[in-house]
Structures are given as C-alpha cells and as structure tokens.
Amino acid sequence: MEKKIFEVSVIGASGYAGAELVRILLSHPNVHLAALSSVSYTGQSIADLYPSYREICEKTLVSEEEAVEKGDVVFASLPHGLSQEIALRCSEKGKLFIDLGADFRLENGETYTQWYGKDYIYPELHEKSVYGLSEIYREDIKKAKIIGNPGCYPTSVALALYPAIKNGLVKADDFIVDSKSGVTGAGKSLTQKTHFPECNEAFSPYSIGKHRHTPEIEQTLSHFAHSPVRITFVPHLLPVNRGIISTVYAEKNSGFGIEEIHGIYRKTYENERFVRVLPLGDVANLKNVKMSNFCDISLHEDIHTSKLIIVSAIDNMVKGAAGQAVQNMNIALGLDETAGINFVPPAI
C-alpha cells in the first residue's frame, strides 16, 4: 500500500520550538516539509539561522499566508495572541492546525484575558479546539482540526498527577508544584534573566505565584478531579539549555502504600510509549530524557508527613513542545503515534 505523505508547514520556524519542529519533521516518514515561515526573517534560509541544517534543509522562510496555503497541516509556534487569525484561515480551508502557543490552551476567555492580556476574538474556534495532552485526550484529538498544544510545565505536572487524581490516591484540592526549566523555555528573545552572565552559575525562582501556566495546570487537574483544584506553583530557571524537572507534593489518602501507588502508576501508563514510570528507588533526571519525547516519572514517600512526592522529567523542547505537537499530528491523522518522534535519549 502506498504510504500517505502530508504537506506540512511551520509558522514561526525561526524560534526555538519552531526550529525543533523542523528538526523532527525532517525525519518524519509521512511528512513533506512544504513551507517554513518567519515574519522576522522572511527571505532568509533556515540554514542561515541554524547552521546545523546546512545541506539538510535550506528552505527560504516565506510569509504566513504562503505557509497556510501550502500545508495540509499547519503548525504555529508564535507568541500568544498571534495564532487565532491563522487558525481561522486553516479552519476555513479544512486544514489541521496545531498551535504551540497559548491561544487555544484555556477554555475560559476571561481567564485568558486575565493572564495573557488578550481576547478570544473567535469564540467559535475555541469551542471546536481540543487540548492536546496526547496520552490523556487521545480520543478527542483523533477528531480535532484545531489543537492547542499544552505548555511545557503543564505537561510535566499533568502526567505526574493524572494517575494519582484519577484513582483517588491523594487529596485533590491543593498541590505544591516546584518546577525547574532550562533556558530555552524562555524562548529565543533575549531578556535580562536569560542573558548569559545572569543565568550561568545561577539558580533562582521566577514569576512566584503568578506564572501564566498556573491556570492551565489548574484547568487540567480540575478535569481529572471533577472539582476545582488549586496549586502553589513556583518555577525556577536552570542554567542548562533543555529540560524540565517538576517535583509535586501531594497529601496521600489513607490506605495507600507506596508499592500500591507505584503499581497503579505502572498500570495507568503501561501502554504509553512515551511515559516511563521508573522503579521505586530511582529518581527522574532530565539528563535521561534529553532530546526525546519521553516523560520519566518517579514516586517517593515522605512517611513523616504522609506526603506523596512525584518527580517528572521531560525535555521542554520535545515532549514539552515540538515532540508532543508531532505526536498530536500523528494521532489526528491516524498515523503511527510514534512516527518521527521515537528518539532514543543520548546516554551521555
């Protein structure tokens, strides 16, 4: 049988997540890279911006309009507020649209305005969109034409807590989430905190109690719990390029030992290629998921306080962004879910 090939465009290809999408899609067996777009670098070659693509991909960056026209599937990797018009054009043309930004992650328009300072200008598009947490909402993604790719921190936290909340292992009303991310999570634009002298040999929290991913995390956990969930979320900036470690503290419900909890986690994710529940005693480490679409989860117990401590590790550029976006594309198109993203993490 002839292999199906889809024409795929990437808008925002000059950013870190966009460039990662290009890297992944170039190796995808069912993809032809139709067009790459960048407002800031239109007319330049992607290889001029990222020399690692020389003699592999030297496509000229074109306009958003051309990218939409050429793609059966359109990815947008743009700052918040810039994807809704593109989604509308894709919807009108019957194309699959996957947004790596924040425009289609939140269900409530007022919440989006509160946290992002923008409005939902096409409410009907948001009613049709699906939240693309691949392992949890797979059946919805199969039918979607507009997919809001989750944020990197929300992916790490949701996968860490899903089995615990779903199975009533913890009190699902309040969680403490302590997360650390590599510098690429801040995007390509230079800021004071991502300037090399500021972040090298340094480690500190930021956006304490007010990070924009907070409502997205709470929205997803509330769906799991079927009741409102609140979190205390503190992200930190790690002086590394890639990776997220999230440590989640939850109060256990009585009657559950760590061995039983571990067994429930293993059962929940036993058929998920990209979620690895580590043996008891092991600790999730971002080194072991780097350059891959894996989420590693380790479970720990604080007997003194009856707390369950869950540690999850992902590569923020892959499972936290481009890799999960391609996973969602595979699901929506009926392809092998692992196509193009079945990377083995480097050993060293």
Q: Where are the chain's structural domains?
A: 6-128, 153-316
What is the rounded (10 degree) CA torsion for 76, 220, 327, 211?
50
Cα 118 from chain centroid?
21
Q: Which residue from 107, 92, 64, 71 is spatially nearest to 218, judged by alpha carbons? A: 107
Q: Could you say which of 57, 90, 152, 295 is catalytic? A: 152
CB atoms within 10 A of CB 55: 6
Mean pLDDT, consecutive 10-residue segments, the chain of 348 residues? 88 96 97 96 96 96 97 96 96 97 96 95 96 98 98 98 98 94 76 72 88 97 97 94 96 95 98 98 97 98 94 98 98 98 94
CATH T-level topology, domain 153-316: Dihydrodipicolinate Reductase; domain 2 (3.30.360)
Amino acid sitting at position 247? T
> What per-residue confidence (pLDDT) applies to 1?
54
244-251 and 174-181: which strand pairing?
antiparallel
Domain 6-128 identical in fold to domain 153-316? no
Cα–Cα distances (Å) from 261 to 75, 92, 279, in that order, read 38, 47, 12
Euclidean distance between CA atoms 278 and 298, whole angstroms: 5
Q: Which of 300, 16, 69 is nearest to 164 (CA)?
A: 300
Is 199 part of the annotated catalytic residue set? no
Q: Name the amino acid, one letter, at 176.
A: I
For domain 6-128, which CATH number applies: 3.20.190.10, 3.40.50.720, 2.40.50.140, 3.40.718.10? 3.40.50.720
Strands 96-99 and 146-148: parallel
Give the chain as a 3 state SS string: CCCCCEEEEEECCCCHHHHHHHHHHCCCCCEEEEEEECCCCCCCEHHHHCHHHCCCCCCEEECHHHHHHHCCEEEECCCCCCCHHHHHHHHHCCCEEEECCCCCCCCCHHHHHHHHCCCCCCHHHHHHCEECCCCCCHHHHCCCCEEECCCHHHHHHHHHHHHHHHCCCECCCEEEEEEEECHHHHCCCCCCCCCHHHHCCCCEECCCCCCCCHHHHHHHHHHHHCCCCEEEEEEEECCCCCCEEEEEEEEECCCCCHHHHHHHHHHHCCCCCCEEECCCCCCCCHHHCCCCCCEEEEEEEECCCCEEEEEEEECCCHHHHHHHHHHHHHHHHCCCCCCCCCCCCCCC
Does the predicted TM-score (pTM) go above 0.85? Answer: yes
